Structure 1
């Protein structure tokens, strides 16, 4: 179709010679969908510089703080929506964790608590604790990404309290953490989650978990250092300490909740 006299999306009368609607931004030069058009739109969404997923991933890898600062300062059209990106990354990580979960399915024997050789009955409380521990293990194997998603508002709060004088409000810290957390989940899904398929039990499992948490801490320090335009080595030390504090507090809170659940508290 050629340019319309009114926008087909919001019905606003178009300005003569305009290519886009002044109200909603939709292109006035519309046409019927074809297979070639669908392919073009698909590859455009992932590879085009403007709002490209790959462009966003590259930016979050090399200049995350600068990218987020531009987004917070008003360059919204330039970048892929962070919340949509987070949902896409979460969906991808679910697929990866599902694959990892297949490896872990039989790593914890169903009868991890067995009757003693003397024939004495097992304490029902011990059986329940073992059942809850196994359930938590299965949940963490399959829903590690959910735990990381819930961490977003918590880590944002820690940074907000630590850097209140920078002028960023809590909502802006939350948006920044959506960007950063999405990249962290993507990075973990590509590198660390597959390794969990091979390192299934403690202490080998910690060879994956410890480097993963350390990488998260380093990335947050790098990203926030750029966002806050940190100067001097003391500034970088502080932003690293805040990152470590946020991750340690969240890990401690998570372990406490898990422990209370396992003990039946």
Structure 2
């Protein structure tokens, strides 16, 4: 009688799965053929949980999120795994841009001379700490959402449940963004230009998802959307102020001022030369 390779539990000869830990029983040696078969079963067939979760978060996001929150968690990928997959995909996206489309890593299209250095710092931070930046967005969105829906009676979710909502939604947006950003880079569009395209898509998708999750009528939806946007803008302003203060104390703010002065001086020199 064989034993499970994962937990050493005794197996019957006809066992396909371990009755203790649930692991699949593997009897054949690893070959390229069965490796590809396993990959196809896990990720390429229509019935797999990853594909089902991805499609459902477009078609019926409320089903995925309500199922997880209520404790029904077999049909869709759990929120932690889905978010982890999104972080991995975002890392692959960054690698592709840096390796094959370095010219696309530019914020010039949404920068003025005054904000160019600041946007460059933000881009550098995102490149160095992309996964951290993604994770920091979740509690901020969840807090804003909790405040916006604080009077909701039918679907009254606590803060942790709002975290679940935005881990799913932001992970989905990350997957959408990866496709759009890489495709745009292939057509020579910069990251700055692409971000202008992505911003309304993000708000539309989150609004659409929240309308379905909380079963809002149009009046309620419009009112809460406006409150959500205003609250998110307020948090963004506060975060920008905090970032500016930190940059001031570590010397980056002064470097930005000096860079701006140098740029203005160079522009004046060029203008005087032409005249």
TM-score (norm 2): 0.69
Q: 1:28 to 1:176 in 2, by over 3 A?
A: same
- 1:48 aligned partner: 45
Contact 2:107–2:120 (8 Å) recurs in 1: no
2:18 pairs, out of 1, 21, 31, with 21
Query: 62-71 vs 25-34, which deviates more?
Result: 25-34
Counterparts of 2:160 and 2:32 in 1: how far apart (Å)?
41
Deviation track 1:55-107 (CA, whole Å, cap 9, x = no partner) reads 32222222222222123223312112332232232232233334445216788
Cα distance in structure 2, aligned partners of 1:184 and 1:233: 23
Asked whether 1:149 is paired with 2:135, we answer yes
Q: Map 1:107-256 to 2 at 5 A.
A: 134-140=120-126, 146-164=132-150, 165=153, 166-192=155-181, 195=184, 198-199=189-190, 205=192, 208-230=194-216, 232-245=217-230, 247-256=232-241
Distance 1:136 1:20 in 2: 49
Q: Is the CA contact (8 Å cut-off) linking 1:100 and 1:194 kept in structure 2?
A: no
Contact preservation (8 Å) 1:149, 1:181: no
Instruction: Return 5+ residue gaps in structure 2 as ranges.
Output: 251-275
1:32 aligns with 2:29: yes
**2: CA distance, partners of 1:130 / 1:158:** 29
Indicate how the Cα distance of structure 1 residues 65 and 193 shifts in structure 2: closer, same or farther if over 3 A, else same: farther
Comparing 31-40 and 251-260, the one that deviates more: 251-260
Q: What CA deviation, in whole Å up to 9, does each residue of 1:124-163 have, x standing for no partner? A: xxxxx99777444433466566433311111112222333
Q: CA deviation at 1:50?
A: 4.3
Helix, strand or coil at the partner of 2:249: coil
- CA displacement at 1:38 relative to structure 2: 0.9
Larger CA deviation: 219-228 vs 92-101: 92-101
Answer yes or no: is 1:260 the counterpart of 2:249: no
Deviation at 1:11, TM superposition (A): 3.4
* Aligned counterpart, 2:269: none
Task: Indicate conservation of the 8 Å contact 1:19/1:27, yes or no.
Answer: yes
Within 2, Cα distance between the matches of 1:130 and 1:65? Answer: 40
C-alpha spacing 1:78/1:137, structure 2 compared with 1 (3 Å) = closer
How far did residue 43 of structure 1 move?
1.6
CA RMSD of aligned residues (A): 3.6
Note the residue ranges of structure 1 that are not aligned, 5 or more in a row.
114-128
- Residue 121 of structure 1 is matched in structure 2 by none
Change in 2 beyond 3 A, CA 1:9/1:150: same
